[in-house]
Amino acid sequence: MTRVTHIIPLKIKINGSISVQDSKALKGEQVINGVTVFFDKDGVQAKGIFADDGFYYDKDSGARVNLGNNQFVQVNGNWYYLNNEGKIVKGEQVINGNNFYFDKDGKQVKGNFAENGAYYDENSVNEYRL
């Protein structure tokens, strides 16, 4: 991840006069040179992860990557499900009539208990509630 440690104040021309904006760390979604990138609340650029906005950002450039929508994707050995906007889902989900659980980071819970108390089978879509 790239942390923006110093930002040069921007000079903006408004109605013929130039004003200088305060230096502040970039946060949230930003479009820089036509590329959509994301910075967390501390100004750290998202790279190689799903950011707080639910989208995946390239590990090298930090550019938002379109991974599709309404489908499962595997990233770094973990399974995620992307909704109709292409964002990861979290918590309990019913997908194609099957119950799934995705943790706080959007990773599918498999072969373990989820926060809802149910066990989700490692190799199937079976959910077991005790």
Q: pLDDT value at position 23?
A: 65
Q: Is the pTM of this model over 0.85?
A: no
User: What are the structure tokens assigned to 105, written together?
Assistant: 């980071």
Q: Which of 77, 51, 70, 78 is nearest to 62 (CA)?
A: 51
Q: pLDDT value at position 9?
A: 54
Q: Which of 99, 56, 95, 55 is nearest to 72 (CA)?
A: 95
Mean pLDDT by 10 residues, the chain (130 residues): 51 42 79 94 94 96 96 93 97 92 95 91 64
Give the rounded distance of the alpha carbon of 114 from its chain centre: 20
Q: Is 42 left (phi over 0), alpha (psi -120 to 50) or beta?
A: alpha
Q: pLDDT value at position 121?
A: 86
Using alpha carbons, list the distances in angstroms from residue 111 to 114, 117, 127. Answer: 9, 13, 10
